[in-house]
Amino acid sequence: MGAPVAAPPAAAPSPGGSPAHHGKAAVEGSATWRLTDRIGLAICWALGLLFCAIAVAIVVYLLVQGLKFLKPSMLVTPASAGFTQSESGGFSDALFGTLIVAVMGISLALPIGVGIAVWLVEYGRPAGLARLTESTIEAIAGIPSIVLALFGTVIFSSTALGFLSRTSGGVVFGRSFFAASTMLSLVALPLIVASTREGLGSIPRHVREASYAVGKTKAATTRRILLPASRPQIATGAMLGLGRIIGDTAIIVVLLGATQNFAPVGGAFPFNYLRGAGTTLTNFVYEASPTGNLNQPQKAYAAAFVLLLLVLALNAAVDVVHRRARKVGTWSS
Amino acid sequence: MEESYPEEYGPRWPDRRVEQMLGVLVCAVLALLLAMIVTVLLKGWPSFAHNGLAWFGPGGNVDDQLNAIFLSGQPGAEYIYTFHAWPLIWSTILITGGAVTIALFSALFVAVFIVEFAPEWMSNILQPVVRFLASVPSVIYGLLGVLVLVPFIGNHLVSEPQKASVAGIISLSGYSLLAAVVVLTVMIAPLMVSIFSDGLRAVRPGWLEGSLALGVNRWRTTWKIAVRTARPAIVAGTVLAVARAIGEAVMLAMISGSVGFSPNPADGLIFVFEPSRPLAPTIVKNIDQLSSPPANATLFAIATVLLFSAAMLSLVGWATRRAMRKYGATA
């Protein structure tokens, strides 16, 4: 770690113009620093490289294991009972379950989150309620998802909501895609609210005033101008939320059931599946790991690899949105 | 439809109605959370009521107690509530404390590195890396922990004499405090880095330039001015990371060993190889027991403790940031 201690070459302000960051404009070498300071910089480099190494190790290891064990047939065959790992099918139900949960969770969280953010930024009266909402939304981010899951069992086992899950003899089962998605949308909510608020907050006042001046109401301004303008931030928030929904395991284990297959309940087509128990990739990985009930590590690797690909795709999408938003520019330019 | 709407009625979506609708939405979410706190507390109350403060104390084998509680839930039997959660609490403290301490140290250095010292290409690599590490699902960390780190610790780090020395009490197979702390650190450090670096970026350039103009070198300027100014962000990131660490259930259920045992630092260095089980994984592991009323109350009591610590954390973070605001710090 000795070599990289040399300071970066003085960065000339790049013509493309990412705003030249403070401190980087006038760079002094670290050669004149005291030894302790240079050791500190070396620690910086070491930890930075360690982070990169960990990320590379995770991706490469899962890539190798995933490619070794993942067969295309696993993506289309559901799990089944079997003695060996080659007999017990794939995880198509888990893959579809992840997609269902993601779509349902985000379609619940997005309108609510955007609505709360709009209220906070554009209306926000009475001020006390606004401050309470702000801190509550922040606090949701700190609530363990296992607690949300336990709360979900109480809500969805109540007889009033019995139509959302399997019911037998007056006892409500309380495990269904509806139950899991509803609680998962709470997990995504703080990210969407924070991101949308950031977007709305970055729009300068004069834009709103221009709209009011031509006779638009606040509501129309929000819908026609402010929300379209903050679309990149809303999209970012939605994708971050989606990542949390896809990656959550505790809520799935508690509220979707420990089966590895869809367990449709009576009813019209989409509802019989959504009311029934099911599984997702995270649940499958959990159960297929050596500490789970299935203990099929090879399949766990394969499913984890698919899950990682989904997460990487989401990350890439966030990057694309960011880059496109930056190209469009900001209000002040 | 557009034409048939008479102009003189005013706008179709008057501001007041929109404001009311959004207000109702906000109140509904707040009410849901209030309902959650009340429900969890009420459901867990019998367990607290029967044990009193001994709930938090040591005594007996937790796993045996949980089992007895579950079995007593059958119809006709007398409910048993006796539960002493200290091993679970102690394990939570050890694992969270260890991981947060290491993560705080390394995240601070990495955030400073990204914002101030890394060359352009390096920070362009590090930022996506941090974002990626923060978004890897916890179950993948758990899987890698179980299949890679745990066997490594069990086979290479723990020696045979060490295993023999505790044989009969606990088995040192690699499911350990060490594995849990390492994986949890990797999970929460990226979270801290991203919040810390946002805070460091928000420091006013003028303050740094002032320090640099006085001849203070860049390293000292960063630590004395930038890091100090960004303290509210550091508190916020740490609070979020601690909350995540306390609430992490699935990953820790996979690699902490899942034994209600309290590792004793007085045993010497061997205690980092000892298995345990924090509070949150206990809920996941015993989730099948919800149908038994006393077990149900016990699990909700554990959830109450988790919820209470999350709330306390938010409160402490808020109070700290408020106290720091008077120094003109932003975040």
SS (H, E, C) chain B: CCCCCCHHHCCCCCHHHHHHHHHHHHHHHHHHHHHHHHHHHHHHHHHHHHHHHHHHCCCCCHHHHHHHHHHCCCCCCCCCCCCCCHHHHHHHHHHHHHHHHHHHHHHHHHHHHHHHHCCHHHHHHHHHHHHHHHHCCHHHHHHHHHHHHHHHHHHHHCCHHHHHHCCCCCCCCCCCHHHHHHHHHHHHHHHHHHHHHHHHHCCCHHHHHHHHHCCCCHHHHHHHHHHHHCHHHHHHHHHHHHHHHHHCCHHHHHHCECCCCCCCHHHCHHHHHCCECCHHHHHHHCHHHHHCHHHHHHHHHHHHHHHHHHHHHHHHHHHHHHHHHCCCCCC
Of A33, A44, A139, the CB nearest to B314: A139
pLDDT tens, A94-136?
899 999 999 999 999 999 999 999 999 999 888 999 999 998 8
Q: Does A187 touch chain B (CB under 8 A)?
A: no
- Say which residues have a Cβ less than 8 Å from residue A208's Cβ, sequence separation at least 6: A221, A225, A226
**Alpha-carbon distance values, B287 to A33, A193, A286, B85, B195 (Å):** 57, 31, 14, 17, 34
B208–A23 C-beta distance less than 8 A: yes
**Which of the residues B27, B139, B149, B183 would you substitute to probe the A interface, choosing the one with the greatest number of A C-beta atoms within 10 Å?**
B139
Output the pLDDT for position A27: 64
Given pLDDT bands bounded at 50, 70 and 90, which one contains residue A330? low
A181 or B271: which leads in pLDDT: A181
This prediction has a pTM of: 0.88
Output the pLDDT for position B168: 76
Output the pLDDT for position A2: 38
Residue B113 with chain A: CB contacts under 8 Å: 44-45, 47-48
Asked if pLDDT for residue A4 goes beyond 60, the answer is no
The Cα of A266 is separated from the nearest Cα of chain B by a number of Å equal to: 24
Range name among B82-86, B160-164, B247-251 with the lowest pLDDT average: B160-164
B118–A142 C-beta distance less than 8 A: no
A146–B303 C-beta distance less than 8 A: yes
B306–A146 C-beta distance less than 8 A: yes
Q: What percent of chain B has pLDDT over 90?
A: 56
Enter the tokens of residue B331.
Answer: 């975040």
Enter the tokens of residue B326.
Answer: 């008077």
B209–A135 C-beta distance less than 8 A: no
- For A319, the closest chain B residue by CA position comes to B128
Given pLDDT bands bounded at 50, 70 and 90, which one contains residue A7? very low
Average pLDDT over residues B60-70: 89
Separation of alpha carbons A69 and A298, rounded Å = 6
pLDDT tens, B94-138?
999 999 999 999 999 999 999 999 999 999 999 999 999 999 999
Output the pLDDT for position A258: 67
DSSP letters spanning A130-188: HHHHHHHHHHHTTS-HHHHHHHHHHHHTSGGGGGGS-EETTEE---SHHHHHHHHHHHH
Coil/strand/helix, residue A281: helix
Enter the tokens of residue A290.
Answer: 């050596």
pLDDT tens, B188-240?
999 999 999 999 998 989 999 999 999 898 999 999 999 998 998 999 899 99
A76 or A46: which leads in pLDDT: A46
Asked if pLDDT for residue B11 goes beyond 70, the answer is no
- Say which residues have a Cβ less than 8 Å from residue A48's Cβ, sequence separation at least 6: B110, B113, B114, B118, B122, B126
Asked if pLDDT for residue A9 goes beyond 50, the answer is no
Domains of chain B, earliest start first: 92-325 (1.10.3720.10)
pLDDT tens, A13-62?
444 334 444 444 456 677 788 889 999 999 999 999 999 999 999 999 99
A118 or B264: which leads in pLDDT: A118
Residue A219 with chain B: CB contacts under 8 Å: 11, 13-15, 18
The DSSP code for A230 is T
The DSSP code for A17 is -
Q: C-alpha angle with apex B88: B82 to B92, nearest 5 degrees?
A: 150
**Which of the residues A147, A298, A305 would you substitute to probe the B interface, choosing the one with the greatest number of B C-beta atoms within 10 Å?**
A147
Separation of alpha carbons A30 and A7, rounded Å = 6
Q: Does B109 touch chain A (CB under 8 A)?
A: yes
Range name among A116-120, A221-225, A282-286, B322-326 with the lowest pLDDT average: B322-326
Polymer length in residues for chain B: 331
Question: CATH homologous superfamily of domain A70-328?
Answer: MetI-like (1.10.3720.10)
φ, ψ for residue B262 (rounded to 5)? -105, 110
Q: Does B184 touch chain A (CB under 8 A)?
A: no
The upper half-sphere exposure of residue B17, i.e. CA atoms within 13 Å in the direction of its Cβ, equals 7
Query: What are all long-range contacts of A229-233, with beta carbons under 8 Å and residues at least 24 apart?
Result: A229/A199, A229/A203, A230/A196, A230/A199, A230/A200, A230/A202, A230/A203, A231/A199, A232/A199, A232/A321, A232/A322, A232/A324, A232/A325, A232/A328, A233/A195, A233/A196, A233/A198, A233/A199, A233/A202, A233/A325
A22–B205 C-beta distance less than 8 A: yes
Given pLDDT bands bounded at 50, 70 and 90, which one contains residue B331? very low
Output the pLDDT for position A12: 41
Given pLDDT bands bounded at 50, 70 and 90, which one contains residue B245? very high
Residue B193 with chain A: CB contacts under 8 Å: 51
Output the pLDDT for position A193: 96
Given pLDDT bands bounded at 50, 70 and 90, which one contains residue B5? low
Q: Does A229 touch chain B (CB under 8 A)?
A: no
Quote the distance between the C-alpha of residue A314 and its chain's center: 8
- For B40, the closest chain A residue by CA position comes to A151
Average pLDDT over residues B35-48: 94
Range name among A61-75, A318-332, B83-97 with the lowest pLDDT average: A318-332
Q: Does A259 touch chain B (CB under 8 A)?
A: no
Average pLDDT over residues B259-284: 87
Separation of alpha carbons B224 and A228, rounded Å = 42
Output the pLDDT for position B8: 63
Average pLDDT, chain B: 88
Separation of alpha carbons B120 and A23, rounded Å = 13
Separation of alpha carbons A80 and A77, rounded Å = 9
Output the pLDDT for position A329: 64
Predicted-complex ipTM score: 0.88
Coil/strand/helix, residue A124: coil
Separation of alpha carbons A305 and A307, rounded Å = 5
Indicate the domain borders of chain A.
Answer: 3-9+24-61, 70-328
Residue entry with tokens 């990656």: A247
- For A52, the closest chain B residue by CA position comes to B129
Asked if pLDDT for residue B144 goes beyond 90, the answer is yes
- Confirm if A219 and B13 have CB atoms less than 8 A apart: yes
- Confirm if A88 and A81 have CB atoms less than 8 A apart: yes
Given pLDDT bands bounded at 50, 70 and 90, which one contains residue B61? confident
- For B106, the closest chain A residue by CA position comes to A47
Asked if pLDDT for residue A3 goes beyond 50, the answer is no
pLDDT tens, A268-288?
777 778 888 888 999 999 988
**Most confident of the following: A189-193, B162-166, B249-253, B267-271:** A189-193
- Confirm if A136 and B31 have CB atoms less than 8 A apart: no
Asked if pLDDT for residue A215 goes beyond 90, the answer is no
Output the pLDDT for position B59: 84
Average pLDDT over residues B5-31: 82
- For A18, the closest chain B residue by CA position comes to B120
Beta pairing partners, A172: A167
Q: Does B283 touch chain A (CB under 8 A)?
A: yes
Q: Does B183 touch chain A (CB under 8 A)?
A: no
Given pLDDT bands bounded at 50, 70 and 90, which one contains residue B166? confident
Enter the tokens of residue A79.
Answer: 């799990």
The Cα of A47 is separated from the nearest Cα of chain B by a number of Å equal to: 6
B144–A146 C-beta distance less than 8 A: no
A67 or A264: which leads in pLDDT: A67
- Confirm if B154 and B120 have CB atoms less than 8 A apart: no
The Cα of A273 is separated from the nearest Cα of chain B by a number of Å equal to: 22
Average pLDDT over residues A240-248: 92
Return the HEC string of A283-333: HHHHHHCCCCCCCCHHHHHHHHHHHHHHHHHHHHHHHHHHHHHHHHCCCCC
Q: Does B249 touch chain A (CB under 8 A)?
A: yes
- Confirm if B298 and B47 have CB atoms less than 8 A apart: yes
Enter the tokens of residue A114.
Answer: 């955007």
pLDDT tens, A132-160?
999 889 888 889 999 999 999 998 888 77
Q: Is A257 left (phi over 0), alpha (psi -120 to 50) or beta?
A: left
Given pLDDT bands bounded at 50, 70 and 90, which one contains residue B290? confident
Output the pLDDT for position B171: 80
Separation of alpha carbons A166 and A151, rounded Å = 18
Separation of alpha carbons A191 and A199, rounded Å = 12
Residue B293 with chain A: CB contacts under 8 Å: none
Average pLDDT, chain A: 84
Enter the tokens of residue B293.
Answer: 């009323």
Residue entry with tokens 């941090």: B130
Q: Does A48 touch chain B (CB under 8 A)?
A: yes
Separation of alpha carbons A31 and A105, rounded Å = 54
- For A253, the closest chain B residue by CA position comes to B284
